[in-house]
Structure 1
Amino acid sequence: MSGDSYSVLPDFQELRIRSDSQGDVGSEVSSLSHRSSLFSHTTKTKSGPHLEGNLKLYDTIELSSDVMCCRFSDDGAHLAVGMCDGTIKVYNPANCQQLYTCQDEDTSKNRLPVTQIRFRPFVDGEKVEYSHILIASYASGHVKFWHYTSGKCLQTIDEVRQTLALTINPEGTHIITAGAEPQIHKYDMETKQKVNTMEPSDSHDIMDGHRFRVFAVQYNPNHPHVFISGGWDDTVQYWDDRKVHSVKKFIGPHLCGDALDIDPVHNHILTGSWRKTHVLQIWDFAMAVKIKDVPQDTLNHSQLYCAQWLGKDSIICGGTDQNMARTIDRGTLNVSPNDQLQLVYSVVRQGIPHMLGLSSMASRSSSAEKLRQK
């Protein structure tokens, strides 16, 4: 993730979302208010978000299908939302109006979840046709390259597995995919051809790769060939994308979603685990050792599906069980009681300071649980 510049947040900010009914809550798009804002009272809306702290609800987008992931474009001009039925909808964050839909025969036929979305970086001087491209992975095993303003699928890669995670290298020349099998694939962005497969060796004496599902992959912005990954086997693996086996690992996090992030300024790793204890942790990237556990509220716990650094000073995370989405000051790590809300499966910050997006599910027992258990 990029080291975007954000204003310093108060010592503790927490976002709580709660549904007053069991109706659909598609996607909450929330904005962090400026530090000078004194908006700190509780706000409720008919369909649910319950806010506390120095936060302001910008708007709510309600959809007909569960939301699995969301992503802002690099310039913050577009918000892409991936849904359980395989549809991607693109919105204007300024007014929350739907602009485009990405759906084709494959997604309509399979109706399987969109598991990850990434916008292709566009560099000045490139061909115009390279702008407005997003890449999406699906539980069907497809990886699709969309020209989202026209709704046209430019190319499809079929991995013949559940593809659960996707990321782009810092230079924008390759993509990495991971999923239901231990293998991690690297593709050339231009040709869409596979250029490397990273996997564990056959040796039982060394764990130089994953043994189970991989749910998160993340490049280090300071190292163009180095990325990390995590999943069910309770390890975070370090990879050089030019080699076959992982080069290092640490043991601990149990990842079931996009809950792996790197702070390029401090060189710290953030992990969010889907379990009862030790859910949010900070690690030293270079040393591969834990720095600290971020404490949970003693009365209300949440098993995490997603976690990100929010600028250099804060953390945002969300999950299930007690079902909270919250922002936490990185320095004080203060915590306070949490309310219930719909299951939070994705959090993403916008390129514009103070803006973040959340996607939540309409039912705790729906798509995320099924995808995690398969």
Structure 2
Amino acid sequence: MEPQRKSVAGPMAFSSVKSARKSFAVTSTYVKSNATQKEIVTVHTNAPAMEYKSFHNEKNQVYQGEVNLLSVIDTTKDIMCCKYTEDVNDLAAGFTDGTIRLFDCNTGNCTHTLVDDECRAYPGPVTTIRHRPISKAHPITNMLLASYVNGCIKCWKYKYDQCLYTIREKRQTLGLCYHPRYTKFVTYGDDAKLNMYDEEVQTQERAFYSSERKNITDGHTSRIFACAFNPKSHHELISGGWDNAVMCWDDRQPYATRYFFGVHICGEGLDFDKPGKQILTCSWQEKENIQIWDYGSCKLIQNITPDNQHSKLHCGKFVPQTSLIVCGGSDSNLLRLVDVNTKITECSIRNNPGGIYAFDFGTIRRKPKITETYKKNTEIQNTPRVAFVTGKRLQTVDFG
């Protein structure tokens, strides 16, 4: 009889209390079938507004705008995070039972199951899945790095269902973030600290924390749920969490260099724009939950209220090379595509089966050859497909 935890190992969705049960099944899988398999990865059909209306209504989801449904995978376990593989052929999902499953983007079939004896003996929800940023210096490695609530960080060679190494932290590890250029990554958790590791030697290089001096704010005082590196800097990063503060760090010193208050982060709700001059915050609060900040001065640039749908947000990101953002949260279980310039919701999906805890961008579909109307000549055409987790469902959509 394998030992099992008797108490829940950290913060998670309410329904994940039963995560110690090891049974799993894909109860129903839906994949768009009116296009070739090759097109499913990169292309959608020309009339998204007319597709699968009956399927939308059946699942009690409310769609606004031009939303093209690509795939739906319903499971028997709550899903906490997802990530496309480096070649964007598979989609990895992290479950509350400590298992990572990879689903083929063409068929929806489960192709790999990543779990070892340690995960079976001490199951803890998977909090984040990442892979090293792809570049000429760092080609595709077919590896995924995952963090778990029980303090483990595991590197998986998913083609062979093999765990290459495990780093164990004495805390609840709530996430990780890769450096955009170096072979380094940062983990964060419930001890209000960030740890930086060298991936090549699997050793901790340094830590970032508060000095705990009186009347000085230079670090976090509660759980950290998000971290992002400045894309234009080798040394700068930001983090946010339950203490309602976003801290700005420089990896050449242990304490935060500056900060701003008023942002309650409960997921991956931090992101930099491409120039590294503005910060997007998506916070778990009813009002002022979408905000743009100036990175240099840490001053608020604007609040964005795109519609009258209230949703406490868990996650949000800038859409690359556009003025759009995608964000998701709980309450109305809403996923939005928002235009920052006009401050309106271009597309949305409401009444999902559960809160939107995480999403990931896939590939951009083939652009239309002829622009027929002004409405179609928008940046929505440049939005990649979005895979998101909602309760026990893994869903993929396309906009425009």
Equivalent pairs, count? 337
Distance 1:285 1:28 in 2: 42
Residue 85 in 1 paired to residue 72 in 2? no
| Structure 2 SS opposite 1:62 | strand
Amino acid of the structure 2 residue aligned with 1:302: S
Deviates more, 1:314-323 or 1:351-360: 351-360
Residue 264 in 1 paired to residue 294 in 2? no
Q: Match for residue 48 of structure 2?
A: 39
- CA apart distance, 1:284: 1.6
The answer as to whether partners of 1:32 and 1:356 remain within 8 angstroms in 2 is no
Q: Match for residue 15 of structure 1?
A: none
Deviates more, 1:153-162 or 1:329-338: 329-338
Deviations 1:137-193 (A, max 9, x none): 000010111111111111111111110120010113111000101111000010110
Distance 2:41 2:337 in 1: 10
- CA apart distance, 1:339: 3.8
RMSD, aligned α-carbons: 2.8
| Structure 1 SS opposite 2:119 | helix
Structure 1 counterpart of 2:361, from 341, 349, 352: 349
Q: Which has the higher contact order (CA 8 A, sep 6+)?
A: 1
- CA apart distance, 1:92: 2.4
Distance 1:29 1:278 in 2: 36
The answer as to whether partners of 2:193 and 2:208 remain within 8 angstroms in 1 is yes
Structure 1 counterpart of 2:200, from 176, 190, 215: 190
Unaligned runs of 5+ in 1: 1-23, 364-374
The answer as to whether partners of 2:29 and 2:108 remain within 8 angstroms in 1 is no
Amino acid of the structure 2 residue aligned with 1:361: G
Residue 360 in 1 paired to residue 370 in 2? no
Find the structure with the greater CA-based Rg. 2
- CA apart distance, 1:29: 9.2
Distance 1:260 1:253 in 2: 10
Distance 1:47 1:151 in 2: 33
Distance 2:114 2:164 in 1: 11
Q: Match for residue 302 of structure 1?
A: 311
TM-score, normalised with respect to structure 1:
0.82
Unaligned runs of 5+ in 2: 1-25, 33-39, 366-383, 394-400
Structure 1 counterpart of 2:84, from 72, 89, 95: 72
Residue 241 in 1 paired to residue 256 in 2? no
- CA apart distance, 1:32: 12
Check 1:25–1:287 CA distance in 2 against 1; reply closer, same or farther (3 A cut).
farther
Runs of 4+ in 1 over 6 A off after TM superposition: 24-36
Deviates more, 1:80-89 or 1:335-344: 335-344
Structure 1 counterpart of 2:328, from 318, 336, 341: 318
Distance 1:321 1:202 in 2: 35
Distance 2:28 2:300 in 1: 35
Distance 2:210 2:262 in 1: 18
The answer as to whether partners of 1:44 and 1:51 remain within 8 angstroms in 2 is no
Q: Match for residue 119 of structure 1?
A: 131
The answer as to whether partners of 2:86 and 2:142 remain within 8 angstroms in 1 is no
- Identity across aligned pairs (percent)? 31
The answer as to whether partners of 2:30 and 2:108 remain within 8 angstroms in 1 is no
Amino acid of the structure 2 residue aligned with 1:109: A
